[in-house]
Amino acid sequence: MDFSLVKKRLKKDRKMQTEVYNSCSKRVYSCCLRILNDPHEAEDFMQEAFIQAFHRIDSFKGNSKLSSWICRIAINKCLDHLKKRRIDFDLDAELDHGIGVEPERESDNYDVERVKRAMQDLPEGCRIVFSLHLFEEMDHKAIADQLGIKEASSRAQYARAKNKIIELVNETYV
C-alpha cells in the first residue's frame, strides 16, 4: 500500500486512529510518565501528542516507526511543559540532594519494579536526563541542546542518576 494513502487515511479515519492509539498508547504513556513522574500529567500529554500526531501526520516521513515519532512528539511536549515550570538542571542544585558522582557498584537486585521506584525518587533534573539518555536513546549533546544545559552537565547528571538508582535499589528497596 502507498505510504501517502496510509497517511491520508490516518488523518481522517477514526477507526484507524483508534487502532494506532491502542497499539502505541502504552509506550507513549511510559515515555511521558518517566519524564513527568505524574500519572495524570502523563495521561494528558500522551493525549495531546496523539492529537498533534493525527493533525500533523503529513509531516511524518516514515524514517522511523510511527510509535517512535509519536513518542518524540510526546517527549517534546513534556519537555516544553517542564521548561515552563523552570526545572533546575543545575548540578549544584543536585548536590544539595546528596547525589555525587561515585564509582558504580554491582548488584543482583535490579528488578524492574525496584528500578522504577528508585527513578521516581530521583530529583527531577536527574530523572529527566536519565530517562532521555537510557530509554529514549538520546545522546548527551542532544539532551543538552533540548534542555539548554551543557553536555558535561547532562553526562554528570546521568552518572549521578545511575549511581543514585544503584544506591536506592541496594539499600532502600531490599
Higher pLDDT, 124 or 8: 124
Q: Which CATH class is domain 3-84?
A: mainly alpha
Q: Which of 92, 170, 167, 87 is nearest to 127 (CA)?
A: 87
Q: Quick one: cell of 41?
A: 500529567
What is the per-residue pLDDT for 104? Answer: 45
What is the per-residue pLDDT for 98? Answer: 42
User: One fold for both 3-84 and 91-171?
Assistant: no
pTM > 0.75: yes or no = no
What is the per-residue pLDDT for 6? Answer: 67
User: Alpha-carbon distance 37 to 43, whole Å?
Assistant: 11
Per domain, the residue ranges of the chain are: 3-84, 91-171
Please provide the size of the chain in residues: 174
| Per-residue pLDDT tens digits for 58-117 | 888 888 888 999 999 999 999 888 877 765 555 444 443 444 444 444 444 456 778 888
Residue 152, classified by CB atoms within 10 Å of its CB into exposed (0-12), middle (13-18) or buried (19+), is exposed
| Per-residue pLDDT tens digits for 130-158 | 999 988 889 999 998 888 889 999 999 99
Residue indicated by cell numbers 527531577: 124
- Tell me: domain 91-171, CATH 3.30.70.3280, correct? no
Q: Which of 174, 148, 169, 7 is nearest to 79 (CA)?
A: 148
User: Alpha-carbon distance 170 to 58, whole Å?
Assistant: 48
Quick check: 49 pLDDT over 70?
yes
Q: Looking at residues 144-173, what average pLDDT do you find?
A: 86
CA dihedral sign of residues 9, 61, 128, 125: negative
